[in-house]
Amino acid sequence: MEQPDFNLEEVNKIIRGRRSMFVAQFKENDPVDDIIIEEILENANWAPTHKLTEPWRFTVFSGDGLKKFAEFQANLYKERATKNGNFIEATYKKLSENPLKASHIIAIQLKRDLKTNLPVMEEIAAVAMAVQNMYLTASAHGLAAYWGTGGPTFWPEAKIWFGLEEEDMLMGFFYVAKPASERWPMGKRKPIGEKVIWVK
């Protein structure tokens, strides 16, 4: 078999150098081209998927769409927190303002295929691998990006807003922007040796 023309050095570099960058590190009001977002999504679509269920679904917010998302999550927070008696003004403000600091926000959704009888773990794993592809592509473009599971991720009302069924899942939001700083962040991991047992 002919070997594919992969560059292992580049693969190692991008996997180990991929980083999360958060809203405070975003360069505001300087949107990323949609064509890069399309490339990020195309790569997401090539994640491994048991029985080819391809369970990942995405909603992309940009421009005025970011305002719609911000209003949605802030209003829903207010409604829920007021009912529960734990409303915090600073949280409301963050939910209203943070999305506007991003270039694009990609809502990460899992659409179950019940016919296949796959355990949900396999579908969650496939979507997570799609997100890893998004992360790698964003980093390869030098973009600031992170997977956030805050805000409405686990609120049932949000699932309805995204048109998801009971068995589906909202798995968070992939925030993308240009980075404010030219300095790429350092990663931090404990050695792999502490997490592996070899049996020979």
Stretch that binds ligand FMN, among 6-14, 18-26, 38-46, 48-56 (CB under 6 A): 18-26
Q: Which is nearer to ligand FMN, 118 or 152 (CB)?
A: 152
Write phi, then psi, for 167 (nearest 5 degrees): -80, -15
Distance in Å, CB of 188 to ligand FMN, minimum: 7
57 vs 50: CA distance, rounded Å: 16
Of the residues 14, 17, 22, 155, which one makes contact with ligand FMN according to CB under 6 A: 22
- Residue 133 CB, shortest distance to ligand FMN, in Å, is 13
Q: Which of 149, 160, 167, 181 lies at the binding interface for ligand FMN (CB under 6 A)?
A: 149
Nearest residue (beta carbon) to ligand FMN? 20
Cβ burial, residue 193 (10 Å; 0-12/13-18/19+): exposed
CA distances (Å), origin 191, targets 134, 135, 194, 195: 25, 22, 6, 8
> How far apart are CB 127 and ligand FMN at their closest, in Å?
10
Rounded to 10 degrees, the C-alpha dihedral 125/128/134/135 comes to -120
Closest distance of CB 115 from ligand FMN, Å: 27
Nearer to ligand FMN among residue 150 and residue 163 (C-beta): 150
Element (H, E) at 11: helix 8-17
Longest CA–CA span in the chain (Å) reads 64
Task: Tell whether residue 17 is a contact of ligand FMN (CB under 6 A).
Answer: no
Q: Which of 72, 146, 174, 175 binds ligand FMN (CB under 6 A)?
A: 146
| Residues in 153-182 at the binding interface with ligand FMN, rule: CB under 6 A | 172
User: Which residues, in sequence order, are CB contacts of 36 under 8 Å at separation 6+?
Assistant: 141, 143
Nearest distance from residue 1's CB to ligand FMN, in Å?
34
Between the CA of residue 18 and those of 10, 86, 157, 174, 197, what are the distances in Å? 12, 37, 33, 14, 26
Q: What angle do CA 191, 196, 198 make, to 5 degrees?
A: 135
Taking CB under 6 A as the criterion, the residue among 48, 63, 142, 150 binding ligand FMN is 150
- Interface residues with ligand FMN (CB under 6 A) are 19-20, 22, 146-150, 172, 187
